[in-house]
Amino acid sequence: MLADSMELLDRALSMVPIVFFILLTIAGMTFALYLLYSSSGSAYGSSLSVLFLVLASVSGFFNIFASYSYYRSSLYDKYMENLERGTKELAALPTVAIAIPVYNEDPGMVKKNLQRMKEIDYPSSKLSFYLLDDSTDKETSKELKAFASKNGYAYIHRRVRKGFKAGALNNMLKQSKEDFIAIFDSDEHLKDKGFLKDLLKYFQDESVSYIQTEKRYSKGTFFSDTVDLFDAFFFKFIQPSRALNNTAIFAGSCGIIRRSALDRIGGFPEYIVEDTFFSLESDMHKYKSLYIPKVYALGRPIKTFTELVKQQWRYNYGDTQFLGYFLKRGSFFGKKPMSAMSNIDYITHGFGLNYISTFLIFFTIVSVLIVFSSVPLAKITLEQIAQVRSLTTTMEILGFGTFALSLIAPVILTKIHFKSIRKGFMVFILNFALAFIRAKAALSAVLNLSPSMPWHTGTGDGTNRKMGIALRNSLSEVLFSSSLFVLGMFAFTIHDLSGALWLLWYAFLYISTFYFFYKYG
């Protein structure tokens, strides 16, 4: 009886985030329609209202998609149970190449992780190790080469890092012949020795081209553990949902790829996020993919904000490139059109980080224009807040409700699945702190500029020096948030309390970039 009650409670709790996402969509769309209604035929007001409606519609699409993914992810355990029942153990073990790409990493960390990788449960006669060293530091390469020679690793070094990580893997393909390739990043420490034997049995289905497992970071500080949730949301909710549509993304490591599929596809597309491009190509070549929601290796925790910035820059630069690639190659307009759900999955992946970066900035700017527009929004006093009698006042509060729900949704998700409200707030704020950084990465990709990140990375322990470095790295955000603060205070002087609070809240969120650079380096 108690077990049944607990199951019902779990189901009810799992529906809470979905309800929040739906309410968020309704509130945003209703407020947008109110703005359009209240513009009273003004060309300027109508233009702002239509723009806000477009942004609200995009937001509504992503909220609905998030609800759909969250619901579908709850069905994945049953899917895996059925898959497991229909899968037999391998009669004969295939040959496997374990590839570890390295680029100027700490040799001590790399050697430690490679030693651990040697303990994987698999016959040595069927297993080969490849250390793919693209390091430009001569001492690092010398040390890794000596280690590889001593421990029986094939050492491959490239003088020119053409094609990024994908180039190193494609170069390895010319020198290897194993049936399958397992890829691990050099910072990933093997946690479960059964990785190969657990996963290879699923390749008995000849149409499966790759299997991806869940990726997580080792435990660290509060900051690094919060950053871990960025990937955790993707692997806990989005990957299972996509896997049911055969569009699970190969995430670059902690996965296995069938060599014959790679050969047919033509190797890894040589882009900065080669894994996403490869996933699409695999799908277009009519292969299946599989996602296993189990952690087999843990990556090194991201301890500084600068590390997170570099990661997010690379992700959004690559995903913006991917969006253009997808529209040409695989969408409704491409040479190999796919199903409607596949199109939605790939579009949301390519546009996802732009949605929570460029979209946030546009939404903020439009909010400023609305506050100081001719649209007859209510000038709310504290007394009026306590007396919700007019439509305009109600709609203003609805606007605040929309923003509040956008904060509550990730907090509730984090509390339910990761047992922490603080980390939920942190994730929410980090998305604003990274908004300009991601937007700059997207613009760089659109303009075909260098994918390298133009940030100042000086060091120093002095308070003034740390503040100077943080200011240089967050100058755009500081100027933007300062403008919002000034405008918010001006709105307050003209008794527009709602507009003032809205803009001051945005100012606080965007200035967090400076705080994170200063606090976490």
Q: Is the pLDDT of residue 379 over 70?
A: no
Q: Where are the beta strands (DSSP E) in 261-336?
A: 288-299
Count of alpha carbons within 13 Å of 55, Cβ hemisphere only?
A: 24
Average pLDDT over residues 113-128: 94
Q: Is the pLDDT of residue 128 over 90?
A: yes
DSSP class of residue 338 equals -
Helix and strand numbers (H, E) in the chain are: 21, 8
Average pLDDT over residues 427-456: 86
296, 248 contact by CB (below 8 A): no
478, 467 contact by CB (below 8 A): no
What's residue 409's pLDDT?
67
Nearest to 240 by CA among 80, 443, 63, 460: 80
Nearest to 308 by CA among 112, 63, 100, 512: 512
**Per DSSP, what are the bridge partners of residue 181?**
97, 257
Would you place residue 142 in the very low, low, confident or very high pLDDT band (cuts 50, 70, 90)? very high
Taking only Cα atoms into account, the Rg of the chain, rounded to an integer number of angstroms, comes to 25
What's residue 403's pLDDT?
60
398/33 Cα distance (integer angstroms): 12
What's residue 391's pLDDT?
46
Average pLDDT over residues 167-177: 93
- H helices of 39-152, in order, are 43-73, 76-85, 107-117, 138-151
Q: What tokens does 208 get?
A: 């499966």
Q: What tokens does 315 get?
A: 């992700």
Q: Is the pLDDT of residue 181 over 90?
A: yes
43/234 Cα distance (integer angstroms): 41
Average pLDDT over residues 484-502: 82
Sheet holding 208-217, edge to edge: 154-157, 127-133, 96-102, 180-183, 255-258, 208-217, 288-299, 189-190
254/275 Cα distance (integer angstroms): 12
Would you place residue 451 in the very low, low, confident or very high pLDDT band (cuts 50, 70, 90)? confident
Percent of the chain with pLDDT over 90: 44
Average pLDDT over residues 501-512: 89
177/162 Cα distance (integer angstroms): 22
214/225 Cα distance (integer angstroms): 16
Q: Which residue has the higher pLDDT, 61 or 10?
A: 61
Average pLDDT over residues 445-453: 84
Average pLDDT over residues 383-392: 47
What does residue 211 show for φ and ψ, rounded to 5 degrees? -130, 130
Q: What is the pLDDT of residues 365-375, one digit of tens each?
A: 887 877 776 44
Q: What is the pLDDT of residues 45-90, one digit of tens each?
A: 677 778 877 877 887 788 788 778 888 888 898 888 888 887 888 8
- Mean pLDDT, rounded, of the chain: 83
Angle at 123 between CA 121 and CA 126, to 5 degrees: 125
What's residue 160's pLDDT?
82
Average pLDDT over residues 205-231: 92
Q: Is the pLDDT of residue 445 over 80?
A: yes
140/134 Cα distance (integer angstroms): 10
Looking at residue 399, its amino acid is G
Q: What tokens does 117 get?
A: 């990788």
Average pLDDT over residues 219-224: 92
What's residue 388's pLDDT?
44
Q: What tokens does 165 get?
A: 């990580």
Q: Which residue has the higher pLDDT, 349 or 6?
A: 349
Q: Which residue has the higher pLDDT, 261 or 488?
A: 261
DSSP class of residue 155 equals E
Least confident window among 366-375, 448-457, 510-519? 366-375
Q: Which residue has the higher pLDDT, 10 or 273?
A: 273
DSSP class of residue 253 equals S
Q: Is the pLDDT of residue 389 over 70?
A: no
What is the model's pTM? 0.85
What does residue 220 show for φ and ψ, rounded to 5 degrees? -150, -125
Calculate the alpha carbon distances from 510 to 414, 429, 431 in Å. Answer: 22, 8, 9
What's residue 380's pLDDT?
45
Sequence-distant (6+) residues with CB within 8 A of 293 are 76, 80, 213, 214, 235, 236, 239, 240
53/474 Cα distance (integer angstroms): 30
61/169 Cα distance (integer angstroms): 37
Looking at residue 90, its amino acid is L
Percent of the chain with pLDDT over 70: 84
Cα dihedral angle (354, 359, 360, 361), rounded to 10 degrees?
100
Identify the structural domains of the chain with CATH numbers, from first to last: 1-74+358-417 (no CATH), 92-303 (3.90.550.10)
165, 253 contact by CB (below 8 A): no
What's residue 61's pLDDT?
81
Q: What is the pLDDT of residues 287-317, one digit of tens each?
A: 999 999 999 999 999 999 999 999 999 999 9
